[in-house]
Structure 1
Amino acid sequence: MTKTRTNKLRWWAAGLILGLAAMWGMYVKAGPADEVVLTIGESYQQVREQSRSTLPALTSDNTINLYVRRPAVLRFSDPQYGFVTPTAKLLSLYADQDGKVTQLTLSPQLETLPLEDAMSIVVKLQDQLRRAHWRPILTADHPPIADTPTMRANIRTGADPQTFWLAGNKYQVSLDIRRLKHESRPNDERYLIALQLSGPPLMTDQPAS
């Protein structure tokens, strides 16, 4: 095989790989997003069957941290208290000894975000909770996160506000937003949201004064 023909084959192979990569990228963008569908208390196996996701099989070694390997939307499917999150790169479920889902933790974003974008996600999630009849609790010390100049200033200084919500006597959610600081980039403002969802035992509201 001549050197010229070898070079042509290399260029052809490289072009084919790039073309396939571009086609795959278009397919991923055009295709439906992964989705984890669940309610607290369902069997983990049922969650896997009704979801379109990369959740792993349940074994005796991994009941604590069952995480997706590809970003996915969470659809909390309780008929009364349901809500949907933006696509989460970090989404992890926890199952008990009976294989039932007891808790989940997620960060409803694909990367750390500017404060403007992070606040928008948090406010919209809280609006969903309100519409689905969740109620905020412990509001004296942990009020719902509001997009105000004061709240933004507090978050920028590391206040890390956290808010708590109850759905009847069935579920609870904690939601917070915090700034991530990089030692090498102290002026780079990036923010991370964390949402935790679980069932009983539930937190209780503060007693009336």
Structure 2
Amino acid sequence: MSLRSRIGGWRSGLIVVMLVLLILAAIRQLTQPLWGEPEIALEMGGTYEDMRKHSSASFSPLIRGHVWFGIPKVDAKLRFVDPQFGFTTPVARFFTVDFDDSVIFGIRMSPQIEPLLIDDALKVVLDLQDQWRAKGWVAKGLQNNPTIVDTPEWRAYLRKGILAGITYWQADDKYQVMLVVGRFEDYRNPTEERYLITLALAKPWTPFDEIEDSYDEPRHFPAPQPK
């Protein structure tokens, strides 16, 4: 093979590689919003297949059979799908979805990718509560677990690290959510106050309407009540 033929073949190969790179760059540009913030689109009572179809985040393989849980392969936010009660969360690192024979019945997650400073933790909590309130969710169990607000009293309560702040919200008889924020010892930031948020969502499991007026012993460290 002559030198000219070799050079021509090398140039042709380089052109092909450049075209492939340009195509991949164009595809990445078009899908960048999805790649930049992967999303899990989830409907309670929906199937594993539907979740994978409508989500931009890759997920653990389907395991046939009864109760099990799946985990996303990347950090991802939740988009809870419901025409009336839907909401979204920040990107999460801990995220599990509970299934029974491929049908979704529960979510457990922490809507953050690392323990947060108190300002950032309260911002996440208040945003979620605002979304639920705007969509018609109702706070429940207020006698012992009032809604969380950003006040000096609430900050002092959380900083003690004795009890976490817990709030329950319910969407008619369809869903119930428990949101918890508490002090967390972060070994990477030992001199800072860091906080961990957890969220559990499923069909209503605590009958608040039945126990709301029942007698309950006062707590030694009650959460701040609204003024």
Q: Normalising TM by the smaller chain, what interval?
A: 0.7 to 0.9
Deviates more, 1:56-65 or 1:124-133: 56-65
Q: Gaps spanning 5+ residues in structure 2: where?
A: 1-24, 215-227
* 1:82 has 2:86 as partner: yes
The answer for the alignment partner of 2:109 in structure 1 is: 106
The answer for the alignment partner of 1:152 in structure 2 is: 155
Q: Which of 77, 87, 108 is the aligned partner of 1:73?
A: 77
Deviates more, 1:41-50 or 1:121-130: 41-50
Greater share of residues in strand:
1
The answer for the alignment partner of 2:169 in structure 1 is: 165
SS state of the match for residue 41, structure 1?
Answer: coil
Give the distance between the partners of 1:174 and 1:184, measured in 2 at CA.
Answer: 28
The answer for the alignment partner of 1:118 in structure 2 is: 121
Q: Which amino acid aligns with 1:77?
A: V
Report if the CA contact (8 A) 2:93-2:111 is conserved: yes
1:99 deviates by 1.2
Give a deviation string over 1:27-65, Cα, whole Å, max 9, x none: 79x542111111211111111111111211211489533
Q: Which amino acid aligns with 2:92?
A: A
The answer for the alignment partner of 1:57 in structure 2 is: 61
* 1:43 has 2:47 as partner: yes
Q: Which of 140, 158, 164 is the aligned partner of 2:143?
A: 140
1:203 deviates by 3.4
Give the distance between the partners of 1:145 and 1:91, measured in 2 at CA.
Answer: 23
The answer for the alignment partner of 1:197 in structure 2 is: 201
Among the aligned pairs, what percent are the same residue?
A: 35
SS state of the match for residue 179, structure 1?
Answer: strand
The answer for the alignment partner of 1:208 in structure 2 is: 213
TM-score (norm 2): 0.74
1:68 deviates by 1.2
CA RMSD of aligned residues (A): 2.4
Q: Gaps spanning 5+ residues in structure 1: where?
A: 1-23
SS state of the match for residue 188, structure 1?
Answer: coil
Report if the CA contact (8 A) 1:171-1:202 is conserved: no
Report if the CA contact (8 A) 1:118-1:192 is conserved: yes
Report if the CA contact (8 A) 2:115-2:186 is conserved: no
TM-score (norm 1): 0.80
Residues paired across the two proteins, number? 184
